[in-house]
Amino acid sequence: MLYYLFDWINRLYAPPGFDAFRFITFRSGLAVLTSLIICFLFGPKIIRKLKEHQIGETIREEGPERHKAKAGTPTMGGLIIHLGVLVPILLWGDLKNMYVWLAILVTVWLGIVGFIDDYLKVVKKYPNGLIARYKLMGQISIGLIVGVVLYNSPEFDGIETITTLPFIKNLNWDYVYWWIYIPVIVFIITATSNAVNLTDGLDGLAIGVVGISALTLTIMAYVSGHIEFSRYLSIVYLRGSGELAVFLSALVGASLGFLWFNAYPAQVFMGDTGSLALGGIIGAVSVMIKKELLLPVFGGVFVIETLSVIIQRLYFKYTKKKYGQGRRVFKMAPIHHHFELLGWEEPKIVTRFYIIAIIFAILSLVTFKLR
């Protein structure tokens, strides 16, 4: 909204400096700053309201012993993240852009799914919250919407099913058929949404890794929407996708702002209100800019966390069937709990996971030059 106001003033009166509002990089910087200000202003108020209404985290009995001290910490703090993302993009984004509205839709849609889940768990005291199949239905539904919109989008005309193939120059991957392309999008958004949810188990872990992934995607979105950079890097040029850099910059700002309150020892947890939406954003933006095949690289921490859970469950079922007693590969899954039970302090685990996430992010960006 402010973008249009300043653009109108610039076209009408051309005051010095107002031309900067046309540039994505300038508005991305404004989005980060606006997001931080919003989180710092409204974060304490939201946390206070959550405490007043006794909306506190319930700790699972089977979780690590030290986590029981966290019982009662306010949850549903994802509301802070949503404010920090949505307000800046509405202020500084080009609201005529399809990519921006898709990203907003994914954020709000999965935010509502997560909010319902948290509400049922924390307020209504349903132990498992929203029934798993209903949660899955919400994730699959938004995946279908994103897939159908992208496939029929004028911006994707002629390149509907094509995506960037990492590491190999001048070669893209083609899903060929819509009935392959759309289910792949559904799977990516659903899987990434759940992966971030699994990662959200230590103070500051999920939001920090999301911030690193969002910064990586910001760079990818900008170069994908820039005709010269995309030509130089031999990647698919996507007209208008650069505007996602503004949205993702708001997400980077919201991640930093929320981390201020979520760092060890956490004053608030994001809950499913935050984690499901954040994962959905990462997955959806990846497919929008046709970088979903790079997602396992820059989102490597999410992949490791998810695989640790899958391996643990499959091995437990296999050994129980074979030996009559289930055995475990890890002391506890997801894998961050394994390190806790090895005696690592929580801040050390989180910091090392940040380092791993940064390494993965750098590797994903390096693949552009390899192409």
276, 113 contact by CB (below 8 A): yes
Instruction: Say which residues have a Cβ less than 8 Å from residue 106's Cβ, sequence separation at least 6.
Output: 142, 146, 189, 277, 280, 281, 284
Q: What is the DSSP string of 297-341?
A: HHTHHHHHHHHHHHHHHHHHHHHHHHHSS---SSSSSSHHHHHHH
Q: Binding site for Mg(2+), residues?
A: 197, 272
Q: Residues at the annotated binding site?
A: 197, 272
Which residues in 105-132 are b (16+ Cβ under 10 Å) and which e? bbbebbbebbbbbbbbbbeeeeeebbee
State the Cα–Cα distance between residues 239 and 154, nearest whole angstrom.
10
204 with 252: CB under 8 angstroms?
A: no
| Residue 73 contacts residue 268 (beta carbons within 8 Å) | yes
332: region left, alpha or beta (phi > 0 left; psi from -120 to 50 alpha): beta
